[in-house]
Structure 1
């Protein structure tokens, strides 16, 4: 279960009639960033803290394919498809089987034959199975 923090300027929300900020947990929702109230930007329902995000970015840039896949999932949930695709490609290039499978199915859905051949070849090279795991050696 992911923890979502509802961050807000209580005074600003109180003036608009909205309830004050509370800490709650939810299964998964995409983050929503609202307008600035009293010069404070409000971002609701983030399941990842900024420090954790920055740590994952550093790990992904350093070669961690699982961190890149986590960032791809986070940005996909946030509705940032281009950023998500970039992290998924990075994870797949490093041999992350679920990312390879996702990019392969996306290429098949879009009928992009060149991308389908590329990811199908990577799928075989990395010995991935259809569930997204690596086959035993």
Structure 2
């Protein structure tokens, strides 16, 4: 990690409770929100969805239907970029690497693999009849 990059910080775009939209209601109530078809996500890449004012990265690992959902916010670069990261694994741990400063994040827990004190939010994700859905509240 470059010595000149800024320290990690919390997401300033976190808008919990700030929106009156139906997606914000879905977040608060823990409703599954359809995002896209599985076929719309190229294997070993991510896409971003805006759900209740939150940018959520949905990541497809491999050729199958293994999916993870994490915050799109990179606390090191302070940018919404994780959906554009490099997908892979480190010692069998599925991860995404930030495209900016290259920190890796465990897709299961959100924990930074390079600085374990940093954890980003993770969300439940499922596949229903070929459609990817995210549970981002509750």
Task: State the TM-score bracket (shorter-chain normalisation).
Answer: under 0.3
Comparing both structures, which one devotes a greater share of its residues to helix?
A: 1
Greater relative contact order (CA < 8 Å, ≥ 6 in sequence): 2
TM-score normalised by length of structure 2: 0.21
Comparing both structures, which one devotes a greater share of its residues to strand?
A: 2
